[in-house]
Every structure is written in structure tokens, then in C-alpha cells.
Structure 1
Amino acid sequence: MTRRLFLLFLGLILIATASYAADPSADEGDDGYRLWLKYEAVTNAAIKAEYLKYTTFIGNSAKGEIGQSAAQELQTGLKKLLGKNINVTSSFGARSGAIVFRIVTSSNQIQQEEGYQITLSGGNILILARSENGILYGVFALLRHMQMQRTLKNLNVASSPKIRYRMLNHWDNPDGTIERGYAGASLWKWYELPERVDPRYADYARANASLGINGTVLNNVNASARFMSQEYIVKVAAIANVLRKYGIKTYLSVYFAAPKTLGGLPTSDPLDPQVRAWWKEKVAQIYKEIPDFGGFLVKANSEGEPGPQDYGRTHADGANMLAEAFEPYDGIVIWRAFVYKADPNADRFKAAYEEFVPLDGKFDPKVIVQVKNGPIDFQPREPFSPLFGNMPKTPLGIEFQITQEYLGFATHAVYEAPIFKECLDSDTYVNGEGSTVAKVVDGSMHGYARTLMAGVANTGNSRNWTGHPLAQANWYAFGRLSWDHQLSSEQIAQEWVALTLTRSQKASGHITKMMLRSREIYVDYNTPLGLSRPWMGVHFAPEPWQNKGSRPDWTAVYYHRADSAGIGFDRTSSGSNALAQYRPQVQQKWIDPDKTSLPYLLWFHHVRWDKNLSTGKSLWEELCTRFYTGADSVLWMQQQWDLAKPDLDSEVYANVAQRLKVQRREAIWWRDAWVLYLQSLARQPIPAGFEPPKQTLEEVKQSVNVYLMR
């Protein structure tokens, strides 16, 4: 089955099994629909008395549609929080006890156009900003403050985004399927648009705006040319009309060969005058329908997708041709650096660096190169991509994956903020110590004017948006970090739990602790010590033995390199030498297997089974320990969740508790698959204290085959 047919087949299954997305106007229970915007009534009497002093709204400086959205959100939120309607007046006078919107031309406290300041003055709460977008973000910040029942005494909060373009990338297809989607079918009902606009789009926009997300790419990077047709442009415009009210710009992924397949031209060569003219006309056509259109996202010459290299041109040639079409407009071109070729002698780790670093400085100013956080493909743990810090003349955006492609789909609880932070806080050493990936991405390292952080969305039409209730935290964490990458994983988790699940500090402690450990637990039973597993298939079932594919890097054995001597991918000078793509200070961290931190050991070294590690165990013993303790730690996660039960909604509790049972069963499945397969190569016994798997290797293989057939 071809990759596209497989994805279509998978998507049709998801559509058939998806939870029906009830009308948002239906009676609201704690079914997850409201996300972190529940606005549950304030229960602290003293705090409520503070809040009730401010029940008049004056929005005299923000009268546009975004300002209207801010005013509506404030009124809705305060009514639910306080149980009282907010009075609206256009007269300020000497009034006190009001919440006032005020657009200011300058402020030392507000660093960016989208920033805001919330302060007390003259007995009023002032939300100050340089734009209506900032007012909107300030309103959500105030409501977040109130939802967490924090005092208003000495209130003076100022915040501005560190990243300019903060967006979700949807991998949604015209037929309603979602590539790597685990929460039902697509949100976008293309067959109804443009005549019917689902009310759910507004709630999607509210959720994003509450986090400061200001851009949405509606369709899959493996794009269909149909999105460039007039039929679909007007459909997209209908969605854009909703998102615009919440400060969100709409973007589209484009099929690079569209001039040929859709436009009927003999070529899609980016240097061909007819092709350039076609794209200019197409962009003008889009802006006629969507005046604030954000721009294009492009996947080209990767995994079989067409691109400029088909005509002997470079990525810069292709990106600049599209940027030229945007010259009269405010839109940008986002060109993905996820590229690799079917070379049996190559290391996929090195591909993006080899293709893009020589092009540094050759991209149009309207182009941002979007780089995945790691060099392979959204693994549970990866070293940071060596592109960061090595293209000082080209704005580099970062791409994270929120949807759990390699993290257990919608049945495993994995809190992703530590993955995002691990990359952002990594030191590239490009300008000496402290040259973090975050400083590259936010532009402070190289002076990029255009900065970007993108997350591959985990939303679908399931009633609770993300399938697994705890997966909502990953959407929330991405949004908060795209606004301020200095926030900690713990702070974000505590916020999300308080806004979404419970205000009980005791229960929050158990849940937050579980969330913060969940990623390491998953890594231990799935890919410990630097293993990776991006082989073909659904990216879910354990298949470490898989060695057949249309190309070497679409097999499992390509990545772990396990044999009778040991396991791991040698990326030092004695192997692929991918390590040389980093600065010398980074190389020193990973060049010596005896000094390499264990989480990255097998990323860079092929290690003997009997090698003694810093833990006092041999490699084989340490791997087994990780596989077993990781799977057993899911029991601890279940215990933490159970301890929080008295303070949780019964429906939410049951949903997560049942998924944790599935996670425990599947963790054992993965553990047994890895241990039995590797044991067949290492020829070593299961370490004392661990019960051998109940199944044989052949029985586990058969269970995987059955899974893949369904």
C-alpha cells in the first residue's frame, strides 16, 4: 500500500470512529469542550469580593472587531466567574470600579505591538496596549489571573511576545482526514463551506487567542493543489473571517507543482516566467478574498513531494519565487527544512544541514526557513537540530509537534512542555556559552526581524478537541511557550491543571507531578538511552525488527543499528560524522561515549552490549532496566491520578483512568517487543529481578501484525 493510500485509509477509519462533535451551544458539562476557558465560579469569598469591585466595562479605545471580541470575552468570563452581569458604559468621567481598555501610542512597559499591561489606577483596572490584539491578549491574561483566584492587590503585569509569528500547522486534508490526527476528523467542514460556518471555529479561535497564537495553517504540508482553486479560496476565506476577529491570520500549505497540475502550464520551474506570473496572479486572487492573508507554508523535495530541485533549482530559488509574489502584500513564505533523500549510505540526521546551510543569505527577506526541533522526526527525545545557529543570515523558525505521532497517539499521557523546553534551552555555542536555540528562534542572536514558532496541531472534531483529555495540556503549553519561552514546564502545568481540571492544590500536586514525569516514563519504555524509531507504518506499534522498506531510512533497523555486538548509530568521525555539524563545545558533550549523557548515548554511539555505564550496569542491563521500570511507572501514574479523584469531575476522571489502563498494557507490549528482539541479538539473560515476558518474540510479532492489519 502506498503512503498516500495508507494515510487515506487511516483517516477514513478515524472518521468512522470519531466522537460526534456536538453543537457548541449544547448544555455544557465538563466534557472537555471548554478547554481552559471554563470560567468556573470563584469560590474564595475574599477574592470574589475583590473582583466584584470591578463590574463596569469601558472599552472606549478599542472599537474594531478584535476589540469587540475582547469586550465580549470579558463580559462572558466575568459573568461566569462572578455570577453577575457586567455593566457597559461609554462614559469614563470620575468613575471607579471599572475595567478600561486603552490603546496607547507608546509605553515603556509594553515592548511589542501585541504586548499588554494590566494595572490598577484610580480605582480602575486598566488594560493598556498598542493594538487591539494586545487588548485581546490582556483580557485573556486578566481572566486567567481571575480563574486562578489570585489577588488584584498591587496588580501590575506587563507582557509582550518573544516570537512574532506564533502558529498552528494543521495537517488536515480536503477529504476530512488528518495526517497524524488522533482526535477524530478535521475541524474544517469543507463540504459545508462557505455557506455554513461551523460555530466551533469561533471557539477554536478563542482558545488560540487566549494563548497568544496568531496564525493558523489550515491544511496539510503534503498539500493538495485544490486549495489554490477559486472553489477552495472562498471556503478558506469563510474561515479566515472568523479567525480574524481574534487576531489570527490564515495561512495555506501549497503544492509546489500547482502551476502544472492546476494551472495547465508545461512546467513548475520557479525560474520560468510563466510560472512566476501564475503564482503572482494566484496570490492576488487570494488577497482579493482574504485581505489579511498570512502566507504560504511549503514542503518541497521531501518524501516524494515536488519542488524546485525537480528542475535543477535550489530551495532558495523556489522560496524566492513565491516571496516575489507576496511583494505587494504583508504575507510571508515559510519554507520547511524537513528534507532527506533515499541514499543507503547517507545519514538522514545530516540532510537538512547539507542542503540549507550552503544557501544561508540567499533567501528573500520575506522567507522564513522552518526547522524541526530535532534532526530526524519529532522523536520522544532528539538532540537539537544543527541548523540552529548555523544560518545567521536566514530567519529560522522552529517546528514542534503537538500531536502525538511518536508519543502514543491518544492513549498515552505524555506532557510535551519538557520536550519543547529541552530544545529551546539547548546551547548552540554559536556565540559562546548561553547561545540557546531560543535566542536563535526569537531573533535576539542574529537580529532576525521575522521570528516564528509553529506547532503541528493535535485538534480534531472529537468533543474534547484532542482525544486524550490530558493532551489539551500540550496545545496549551505550546501556545504559552510561543508567547514566552522562558516559562517553566512546571508553571505551565500548574496553570493548565488549575484552569482545566481542579483548583485543589492537593490534587494539582499529584497531577502536575504525574505530568512532569510522563515524558521520561514514556521514553524509558519506548526509546531509552537515545534510541529512535521513525520507521514507516503508523508510527505506533513496536517493530524494532522491521527491516523491509522501499528505502533504507524507512526501516527500523536503519535507526537503532542493533547487531550481535551492540546497538546505536555511530555519528562520530568513525561513523557518519554528523556530530561535526555542531560547534566544538557541543561536540565535546557527545563525542566520547564514556562522557556522553545517557539520554543521548545511542544517538551518537554504537555501544557494546557488555559496556559498563555510569549507572554501574552494562548497556544490556541498563536498557532492560529502563524498559521494565518505564512500563511499571505507568502504575505510579495511575496511582497519582487516583489520588486526585475526589477533586475531579467524574467524567474526566473515568476517561483518563481508562486510557491509563490502555497505556499500561501497551507499555508492556512495547517493553516486551524491544526486550525480546534485542535479546535475540545480545544473547544475554533478562537481569535478575525482572520477570521475563510471557510471550515469545514470534508471538509479539504476530500481535503487531494483527494490529497493523486492522
Structure 2
Amino acid sequence: MRGLWPLLALLSAALASPVRAEDGYDLWLRYRPLPAAQRPAPRTIAPSADTPTLKVARAELERGLQGLTGAARAQAGAGAGTILLGTPTGSSAVAALHLPLQAAGEEGYVIRTVGATTVIAANRDIGVLYGVFHYLRLVQTGAGVDRLDIASAPKVRRRLLNHWDNLDGSVERGYAGASLWDWWKLPDYRDPRYVDYARANASIGINGAVLNNVNAKADSLTAPYIAKAAALADVFRPYGIKVYLSARFSAPIEIGGLKTADPLDPAVRAFWTAKADEIYRAIPDFGGFLVKANSEGQPGPQDYGRTHVDGANMLADAVGPHGGIVMWRAFVYSHEQPDDRAKQGYSEFKPFDGQFRDNVVIQVKNGPIDFQPREPFHPLFGAMPKSNLGMEFQITKEYLGFATHLVYLGPLYEEVLKSDTYARGPGSTVAKVVDGALDGRRETLVAGVANIGTDRNWSGSPFDQANWYVFGRLAWDPEASSRDIAADWAKMTFSTDPRFVTPVVAMMMGSREAAVDYMTPLGLHHQMGNGHHYGPAPWYSGGARADWTSVYYNKASRDGIGFDRTAAGSNAVAQYAPEVARRFSDLKTVDEKDLLWFHHLPWDYRLRSGATLWDGLVGCYSQGVAAVDGMGRTWADLAPYVDRERHGQVASFLAIQAREARWWRDASIAYFQTLSQRPLPPGEPPPARSLDYYQSLQFPYAPGI
């Protein structure tokens, strides 16, 4: 019967369910009619000031209520309440209420029930828009809105998407089609989709977008492309979104006619000052520059014997008079290969703490390698109290199965943000570093490498939309619950029925751990295919740099496996606070999820379960495969609650994920068994194919390269 259930469920859904065809374009802003029992009482919307952002807020509220309840314009006198929108300076009715808006700042809001009126108020118009989206979220998720007393303000000042979009329309590490930005048609044609992009971002509090790839082209800073960026800025402005540009450090040479890009050269400094002036004339609220320098072959100040401080401060001086910032990425590695790649970011930036301008933010990846399925938090967090440190997460799943693997990233983000740096003693979490609370920093940043493209559903799959959504919600409040956010997203995107929401949230919350298990269990990392990063290749060696290979990180041999980062090895643990270093170094206290990140151990080492390391490793791979199979069964059972189109796509992708999870398991075991020389644990099936077969696979046309 189990095998027939998916078919029967689909038939039942087609005949009896009210769900209708959808393609995912509406994201979590679907505004489909709620069950009668969940609809709030009718409300009229009071007149409000006619500013661009308040016009957007009112239109969104009308659109949402009309879709959810059919009562956006209820008639007064029919028992309808009123919704009042505005700021104290723009509305005498709001001012007369004397609401507690002091703590709301420039972007926060208050939602309060006052008699028969629901007030959504803020100090600035953008706060009102954010409040409207919060109110609509409550309605969408079936929460009561009759008695409200809500105050919310973002804990992080700059909440950005980094688009790795190229001028030719391709997207580096993009798995959802081409770039959203049609540079060829801009600035004259402004695709209506840009407005929907802005709406979606504003609904989750994102207030900035870096338009172009960190591996930047200098052309992005020429007059034609500045005009194109200005057109996008015009579209985004009512939604509170500033545009930023990635700046190529060698632009003074490539488009400025200079012979050098030395940051201490007066002509170079003059070039950047003039360029900043030019950009701000076109985009008065331009946010600033994002810079990748002296990393992966990109030009930078070290090319001239200068430091990261020299380069960042030069650009900061250019944009500073206009209120702009410079986001200087800490993802760097020098030409000289170190004993441990994980140490490079800390080694290159820690000595300069306190020397960067106040409008420089050092943008640090969540872990010290590169967006791996699991990494310990980057040691720079907590180590630079005199500098602005921003978080860089990856929303696009470069190392987590692209768009076809269901991996909800909320638990990954939350795991990092809750990590305790011990920089000021217990409770010095990464979240407190990022939001500035730990060190009293005001210029705060959370950035996410976007997973958005021209696919009709924006992100490549319905569940990849959840990663965009949870990123925005956690950027607003880094201490929020990723489980609660997943529940909101599931209700808004699919159904408020608890028979759907409960199993889907459980599936989402377990999906990241499943991926870690079938890809890089027990602290393994960087085991993917070379270049395209698709599929397993734990055997990969050679190439231009050892630290671009898999064997560099797994250190697997006849005697064992794992990277020794204790004092007996690379001593990377010394970059953490002593309390953290001791925990990572001690086999009795290190979390076994990080075991092989910090320790090289023999194959017969006994895990806490009593199993040998070899048996435990194999068991993790199989556990990940079993978890994906379970997700497939769960999703099949939920067909009655989801429209056929989206259900079918997710089901197809889960089938791909199940096949590729087995590939990861079998290929990894086939390779590591040649070194461990140990039999598989009882009951574990052998790899389906030979090691030679897995090693022969090539993917020259994988997306996102």
C-alpha cells in the first residue's frame, strides 16, 4: 500500500483539494485565501501620507488583505476596524498616540491595537513598510491580529544580498538561471520583476544589494554601467534597498589610464575620489563598495607591497564623505601556501585590528575555509574588537547540492551565530559580535551570497526560497529561531494546515544534517569535485595549489584520516580563545561533528558510541542516505496539501538528491576503504560501482562555474 500512496494522494488532491496550480513566482507573498476560521475581522485602511514608501506600504497592505481575506476595503459602520499607517512627523493621528518609538530607530516599527484601530507606526516610512509586512505575516500564518502589541527593530544595520552576477548575464555559483539584471536593456527598460525582487527583500528586512560579482570587472564602474545601476536604485529606493557595487582594485589601470593601482599613489587616490563623486551624483544613496582583493588571483594592495589596511582605507576615504562604506572581504589567501589554509584570514587581518577606518567593514565568511556543509566559526569573530566585522553567509548552495538538494540552511546559520567565541567570557556569541553588542560597534553587517536568478521560481526550487527567507529574517535578528522561521515560511509558501506544517518543518530542520552526513561527516570538509564543486572527489590531488585539493584536507592514509589542527599539528586552534581552543583540542570535549576538522586519528579510534572511526564514518554516510529517503516518503505523503506543479518538482528533486546522496556515500567509501583496508560494518552494502568508475566521472558543463 505504501507504494500506491503517492499516486492515490495525487489523484485525491486533483479531485478534491482546493490547491491550484502555482509556479513559485509569488514566493512567500502568495496571499491566497485563508480558511474562514483564520480570517481576521474586516478592516478599513485609514488615509496616509502620499510618500513613495508609504504608497508602497498601503498598496501592499491592500493587496495582502484582499488576497487573504477579500476585505481590504471593508465599509466603515459594518463592524470593521481600522488600520492606521504612518510616522509621528507625517501623521497627526499617529503623533497623538505617543507610541514608544524611541527604540525603533530608523527602521523599526510598532504594531499596536488601540481600541478598534490597529496602528502600524515607525519613525521613518521604511519602518512602516516593514511593519506592514510583519502584520501580513501574522495574518498569513493564522496568528491572531485582534490584540497586538509588537515592537521590532533590526539588530544589524546593513542586511545585504551579494549577487555574484557577471556582466554577460551568467551567475558564478548560480543555480537558478541567468542574472536577474538585464544589463543590455538597462537603464531604459526596467523589468517589472525588479519591483517584485524589491518587495520580497523588503518583506524580510533586506536593505541592500551588491549588484555584481566580487570577481569584478572594472567596466562596472564606467559611466554606462553606473547609469544602469542608478536605474535599479530608483526601482529599489521606495523599498528601502540601497545598491552597492563590487569594485575591482585594478580599475585605475583598466579604466583610469594609470600605470599603477598602488593605494598610496596620489593619482590612484584621486581616481577613486573622482569615481566615488561620479557614482554619488548618479546614485545619491549609493551604499558603497565590496572588495575582493589578493585572493584567488584578484588584484589588491599586496601587489604593491601594501596592506589590506592601505587598500581599504583608501577606498573608505573616497566614499566616506558621501556616507558610504567599504566591505573588505577577509576571504584571502596569499601566494605562499601555508601549513593550513584555515589560518590565513586570521593571520592576515588580526594584526591590523583598530587600524581600519570607521566606515570599513571586514566581511568574514562564517567559517575559515569556504562555505562548507559544516565548519567551526571563523576565528576572527571575537578576535578584532576594535574593527567592524560583518558576517558573510552563502545562500546559494555551492557545496550543498546546488538547487536540486533540499537543504534548509537555517540550522547552519543558527549554529554559527550561537557559537560562543568566549572573547569576553561565556556568552560572547558570534551573533553578539555581528550585531555589534559585544564590542559596541555601530557599523554592522550581515551579507548573503544570493541564490536568485531568472528561473520562474527565483531560486531554482521551492525549498531554496526558504534559504533566502531565513537569511533575511536572521539578518534582522541574529538570535531568532530558525525552526520558528521555517514554520512561518512553510505556512506562507504552502499551507497553514498543521498536518502539513509539522512534518515539513521537521524535514527542513533535519535536512542540513543529512547533507553533512552523506557529504562530509565527522568534520571532513572540502571533499567535492574540483572546480565545479559538484559531487564527491575525496581522491582529488595535484593542480596549481595543494589547498585546492581534497587530499590536502582529509589527510587520509593507511594510518588514519583527518586534519590535525591541535598544537601538535598546524595549531590553528590557537587562533581561538583559550576556552574554545581547549575544547577543540581535547578528544574528550570536542564535538564529534567537528572531530576530523581538528584531529588526525587512526581508523580504529573509538568514537563515543563505541564504534571504530571507520565503522562510524561509513554509518554516517548511510545515515545521510536514509534521511534523504525519509524526506522523499514524507513529501509524497503531503501531496494533498500542495499544488501538483510544485509538489511534482520537489518530488523529482528529492529523487535526484537520493541518487546523488548514494553516489556521495559509495564514491567516498570506495576511496577511503582503499586506505583503511577494513571491511564494511555488518549490514552495510558495498559501493554500487568501482572506484575507477567514480574517478572517471567528468562534469565540464556543470552550472555555476
TM-score (norm 2): 0.93
- Tell me if structure 1 keeps the 8 A contact 2:44–2:80: no
Cα shift at 1:707: 8.0
Give the Cα separation in 1 of the matches to 2:100 and 2:614: 58
For residue 429 of structure 1, report the CA deviation from its aligned partner.
Answer: 0.4
Whether contact under 8 Å (2:372, 2:526) holds in the other structure is yes
Distance, in Å, in 1 between the alignment partners of 2:546 and 2:34 is 58
Q: Give me the whole-angstrom Cα distance separating, in 2, the residues matched to 1:276 and 1:703.
A: 49
Secondary structure of residue in 2 paired with 1:409:
coil
- In 2, distance between residues paired with 1:645 and 1:305? 48
Give the residue type in structure 2 aligned to 1:538. Answer: H
Superposed displacement of residue 594, structure 1: 3.6
Q: CA deviation at 1:704?
A: 4.5
Q: Which secondary structure state, in structure 1, belongs to the residue aligned with residue 672 of structure 2?
A: helix
- Match status 1:569 vs 2:563: yes
Report what 1:16 is aligned to. Answer: none
Q: Distance in 2 between matches of 1:369 and 1:532?
A: 24
Aligned to 2:411: 418
Can you list the C-alpha shifts for 1:489-513, whole angstroms capped at 9, x where unaligned?
1101100000001111011111111
| AA aligned opposite 1:547 | S
- Structure 2 SS opposite 1:328: helix
How has the CA–CA distance of structure 1 residues 345 and 206 changed in structure 2, closer, same or farther, with 3 Å as cutoff? closer
1:100 to 84, 102, 110: 84
**1:225–1:262: 8 Å Cα contact kept in structure 2?**
yes
Whole-angstrom CA distance in 2 between matches of 1:371 and 1:499: 32
Q: Partner of 1:23 in structure 2? A: none
Q: C-alpha distance in 2, partners of 1:239/1:213?
A: 15
Change in 2 beyond 3 A, CA 1:482/1:701: same
Residue 213 (1) aligns with residue 206 (2): yes
Give 1:517 shift. 0.4
Task: Say which is worse superposed, 503-512 or 374-383, in terms of deviation.
Answer: 503-512
Q: Secondary structure at the match of 1:608?
A: coil
Partner of 2:667: 673
* Letter paired with 1:98: T
Return the offset for 1:597: 1.2
**Whole-angstrom distance in 2 between the partners of 1:534 and 1:443:** 34
User: Which amino acid is the alignment partner of residue 624 of structure 1?
Assistant: V
8 A Cα contact 1:102 1:128, kept in partner: yes
Which one-letter code corresponds to 1:697 in the other structure? L
1:313-392 equivalence runs, <5 A: 313-392=306-385
Q: CA deviation at 1:345?
A: 4.2
The equivalent residue for 2:231 is 238
Question: Is 1:403 matched up with 2:396?
Answer: yes
Q: Are 1:584 and 2:561 counterparts?
A: no
Could you list the runs of 4 or more consecutive aligned residues of structure 1 that deviate by over 4 angstroms after TM superposition? 704-710
Q: CA shift at 1:458, angstroms?
A: 0.4
The CA distance in 2 between the partners of 1:448 and 1:534, in whole Å, is 37
Residue 514 of structure 2 aligns with an amino acid whose one-letter code is I
1:158 aligns to what SS in structure 2?
A: strand
**Kindly tell me: are residues 318 and 707 of structure 1, through their superposed partners in 2, closer, same or farther at Cα, counting changes over 3 Å?**
closer
Determine whether 1:56 maps to 2:45.
yes
CA shift for structure 1 position 121: 1.0
Q: 376-385 or 333-342: which moved more?
A: 333-342
Per-residue CA distance 1:160-182 (angstroms, 9 max, x = gap): 10100001000000000000000
Contact 2:338 2:344 in 1 (8 A): no
Q: Does residue 36 of structure 1 match 2:28?
A: yes
Preserved CA contact (<8 Å) 1:115 1:158: yes
Distance across 1 between alignment mates of 2:268 and 2:585:
47
- The reply to whether residue 701 of structure 1 matches residue 695 of structure 2 is yes
Whole-angstrom CA distance in 2 between matches of 1:343 and 1:270: 22
Secondary structure in structure 1 of the residue aligned to 2:86: strand
Cα distance in 1, alignment partners of residues 24 and 702 from structure 2: 30
Does residue 84 in structure 1 map to residue 77 in structure 2?
no
* Equivalent of residue 296 in structure 2, options 295, 303, 311: 303
Q: 1:102: Cα distance to partner?
A: 2.6
CA distance in 2, matches of 1:505, 1:124: 30
Deviations 1:605-637 (A, max 9, x none): 001001111011000000000111211221101
Correspondence 1:645 to 2:633: no
| Equivalent position of 1:222 in the other structure | 215
Task: In structure 1, list runs of 5 or more residues that go unmatched.
Answer: 1-27
Residue 595 (1) aligns with residue 577 (2) = no
Aligned counterparts of 2:702 and 2:173: Cα–Cα separation in 1: 16
Going from structure 1 to structure 2, the CA distance change for 1:327 and 1:463 (only over 3 Å counts) comes to same
**What SS does the aligned partner of 2:104 have?**
coil
Structure 2: distance between partners of 1:563 and 1:175: 44
Give the superposition deviation at 1:87. Answer: 6.7
Structure 1 residues 135-186: Cα deviation after superposition (integer angstroms, max 9, x where no partner): 0000000111111122223211111101000010000000000000000000
Cα distance in 2 between the residues matched to 1:455 and 1:706: 27
Q: Distance in 2 between matches of 1:671 and 1:706?
A: 22
Identical residues among aligned pairs (%): 52
Give the one of 185, 192, 195 matched to 1:192.
Answer: 185
With a CA cutoff of 8 Å and minimum separation of 6, indicate the structure with the bigger relative contact order.
Answer: 2
Separation in 1, partners of 2:302, 2:701: 38
Contact 2:219 2:225 in 1 (8 A): yes
- Paired AA for residue 51 in structure 1: A
**What SS class does the counterpart of residue 327 from structure 2 fall into?**
strand
Contact 1:148–1:499 under 8 Å retained in 2: yes
Q: In 2, are the aligned partners of 1:560 and 1:569 still within 8 Å (CA)?
A: yes
Matched residue type, 1:679: Q
Distance in 2 between the 1:345 and 1:434 partners?
A: 32
Q: State how far apart, in whole Å, the 1-side matches of 2:487 and 2:324 are.
A: 36
Does structure 2 conserve the Cα–Cα contact (< 8 Å) formed by 1:44 and 1:149? no
What is the letter of the counterpart of residue 73 of structure 1? E
Structure 1: how far apart are the matches of 2:619 and 2:513?
A: 13
1:198–1:88 Cα change, 3 Å? farther
- 1:323-352 deviations in Å (ceiling 9; x for gaps): 111132111111100011243442110001
Shift of the alpha carbon at 1:57? 3.0
Cα pair 2:21 2:645 within 8 Å, conserved: no
For the 8 Å contact 2:21–2:644, the answer to whether it is kept is no
SS in 1 for 2:447: strand
The equivalent of 2:423 in structure 1 is 430
Aligned equivalents of 1:294 and 1:592: distance in 2?
45
> How big is the shift at 1:85?
4.5
Q: Does the Cα contact within 8 Å between 2:527 and 2:536 map onto a contact in 1?
A: no
What residue number does 1:25 align with? none
Aligned residue number for residue 74 of structure 1 = 61
Q: 1: CA distance between counterparts of 2:624 and 2:472? A: 29
Which residue, 535, 545, 555 being the options, matches 2:549? Answer: 555
Structure 2 stretches lacking a partner, 5+ long? 1-19, 90-97
Per the alignment, residue 483 of structure 1 pairs with 476
TM-score (norm 1): 0.93
1:558 aligned partner, one-letter code:
Y
Matched, 1:273 2:263: no
How many residues matched? 674
Structure-2 separation of matches of 1:704 and 1:51? 59
SS of aligned partner of 1:135: helix
Q: 1:486 corresponds to which letter in structure 2?
A: E
Do the aligned partners of 1:541 and 1:707 also contact (CA within 8 Å) in 2? no
